[in-house]
Structure 1
């Protein structure tokens, strides 16, 4: 579907270089089956997300039973956790939706032709550092997140990526797995304290879920960006533990 074919549509969904129009009066479905079919992933719900117009308002709904999605505006200023059964209005010109099923992370972008809200200027303190959504990270914490998020950040546009395991990410940094997991614990605890959901879980699912959830949040909140990737190839620092 080309841009010319979708430019007059009120809402379009962008994924992996394609654009899918969402027509008023219909329900657009994302899942293993539907209008955007991600059929190769058995961890994904058959029907996971829907987009439809109700009473003049476009809504994104999570119709799955287990998986959640992270929803953010294009600037990363507003972020929401879309749990099963929840729904959100699509009020921004560009809305990014990030979710994981098994080891695969997906990113799709919803474009609204007539958004209810427009982009505003991001407030910055006198020192030039933004105070909206920022979390202070040490160098080692940042490169740890980068090692996990690298496949997503290197991808061109919206699409899907296979996340590395903790062992693979530790090897990428030249760290021991023990050191990597300690950094992962510290970052997840830090985010959990400020209210980021999904940083903790049951004993059986915690190790896997926190890793994919951390990547979702880090990408959505712009904790790391593509411009930070050179840090992975730079010297990771000495053995000093900076938490």
Structure 2
């Protein structure tokens, strides 16, 4: 974390280990245009996100027309989905932003000098085969499915780009048949949709890749799964649990 003490109103953005100072007088653009050099992805808007200072407060704005971003503070106590036309104040000292354009998922961090709110922890239930995070209870195999899809981001969160596995690749990683994987993916997405997590329902205009990407973004930023769960990808750990 960069030391921002003494830099009143300062805001900096980190991407793949490189830091960018955000000007208080003009928007900092994230997209194919701007200082991040993401111009090699034709699925990304030229201007997607903007970081701006308005009346002494930093805001993140989605100025794109199709893509959304998942916003969270590092402990997972706050998580939001920023849709086109939306904006959120950067009220925490550190804010994580994850978004997907085409097959590629990106993660950036934003740090501000003066946090308005302090993060709170996430409560998890005991390991009894079912894990509860907030009001979301997952079976071990449901959580393993999410870990299989989230594995690249969990193993290397600071990577430049992350390819979310296809359903076939994730099923193979778990040693499951494709039909079993698809059934459990439907169950997980339905469960999260019922508690208000947006972007996980199928339908016109919502591709399977978009649903998987949204699931990964939510799960990682809310800490529904963490790197500590990677052991679930060891098939022997799943042999004795529900099918």
Q: TM-score, normalised by structure 2?
A: 0.89
Shift of 1:81: 0.9
Separation in structure 2 between the aligned mates of residue 162 and residue 123 of structure 1, nearest angstrom: 27
Partner of 1:155: 156
Partner of 1:216: 217
- The answer for unaligned runs of 5 or more in structure 2 is none
- Checking the alignment, whether the CA contact within 8 Å between 2:77 and 2:119 is kept in structure 1 is no
Partner of 2:170: 169
Gap change, CA 1:59 and 1:167, over 3 Å in 2 = same
Gap change, CA 1:60 and 1:126, over 3 Å in 2 = closer
Separation in structure 1 between the aligned mates of residue 133 and residue 172 of structure 2, nearest angstrom: 33
- The answer for unaligned runs of 5 or more in structure 1 is none
- Checking the alignment, whether the CA contact within 8 Å between 1:6 and 1:19 is kept in structure 2 is no
**1:73-222 paired onto structure 2 within 5 Å:** 73-120=73-120, 122=121, 133-157=134-158, 159-203=160-204, 205-222=206-223
Any runs of at least 4 consecutive aligned residues in structure 1 with deviations exceeding 6 A, and if so which? 4-7, 125-128
- Checking the alignment, whether the CA contact within 8 Å between 1:170 and 1:176 is kept in structure 2 is yes
Partner of 1:39: 39
Gap change, CA 1:158 and 1:96, over 3 Å in 2 = farther
* Number of matched pairs: 240
Shift of 1:26: 1.6
| Residue 72 (str. 1) matches residue 72 (str. 2) | yes
- Checking the alignment, whether the CA contact within 8 Å between 1:173 and 1:236 is kept in structure 2 is no
Separation in structure 1 between the aligned mates of residue 112 and residue 170 of structure 2, nearest angstrom: 36
Partner of 2:231: 230
Separation in structure 2 between the aligned mates of residue 12 and residue 6 of structure 1, nearest angstrom: 12
Other structure's SS at 1:136 match: strand
Deviations 1:163-222 (A, max 9, x none): 110001111111111110011000000001011000113245342211111000000111
* Superposition CA RMSD, Å: 2.7
Shift of 1:21: 0.5
Gap change, CA 1:235 and 1:67, over 3 Å in 2 = same
